[in-house]
Amino acid sequence: MATLEIDCPVCAEVLELTDADRAELAVGDVIVCDSCNAEMEVTRNGPGEDFELELLGILTVCPNCGEEFDVTDDMLAAAPTIENADGTIASVVSCPHCRAQIELEFEEEAGDSLDNIT
Ligand SMILES: [Zn+2]
Ligand SMILES: [Zn+2]
C-alpha cells in the first residue's frame, strides 16, 4: 500500500498517511500531529502526491486551568517574547479561558519547533 509521508510543519516529525487513511480524509478535515499536537487542515487530497495541509495551530493545555486551546501562527506573531537565563526564547501567550500567561519555549536547534510548556 502506498504511503505518503508528510513532515509536520511545526516539529518536523514525519506523519505517515496510507491510502486508507487518505481515503477517509476530506478537504477541511483536521489532522493532529502525534508528536506536538499541531493541527493541520487538509486543503488538497488528490491522487498520488497531490496532498496539501495548512497549519491551523498547536493544541496546548493550559497549565493553570487545564483547558485546551489552539496556539496559532497569528497568536505567536503577536506574542511578546522573553529570553530566559539559559538563552532559550519563549513566547508569552495568554490562555483564552483564564487569561493565565503561558510561556511557550522554542528550541533554536530544531528551527521553530514547539518544545514544551513551562
Ligand atoms: Zn508535530
Ligand atoms: Zn487557562
Report the separation in Å between the CA atom of 37 and the middle of ligand 1, taken as the mean of its atom positions: 6
Report the separation in Å between the CA atom of 118 and the middle of ligand 2, taken as the mean of its atom positions: 13
Together in a domain, 37 and 80:
no
CA angle 99–104–108, rounded 5-degree value: 160
92: left (phi over 0), alpha (psi -120 to 50) or beta: beta
Report the separation in Å between the CA atom of 107 and the middle of ligand 1, taken as the mean of its atom positions: 14
Which CATH number covers residue 18?
Answer: 2.20.28.160
HSE-CB at 55 with a 13 A cutoff on CA atoms is: 21
Together in a domain, 53 and 7:
yes
pTM score:
0.65
Together in a domain, 71 and 35:
no
Q: How many structural domains compose the chain?
A: 2
Cα 34 to Cα 76: distance, rounded to the nearest angstrom: 21
Would you give per-residue pLDDT tens digits along the chain (118 residues)? 689 999 998 889 999 999 999 999 999 999 999 998 899 999 999 988 899 999 888 889 999 999 999 898 888 889 999 998 988 889 999 999 999 999 988 655 444 445 555 5
What is the residue range of 80's domain? 59-117
Together in a domain, 35 and 11:
yes
Report the separation in Å between the CA atom of 52 and the middle of ligand 2, taken as the mean of its atom positions: 32
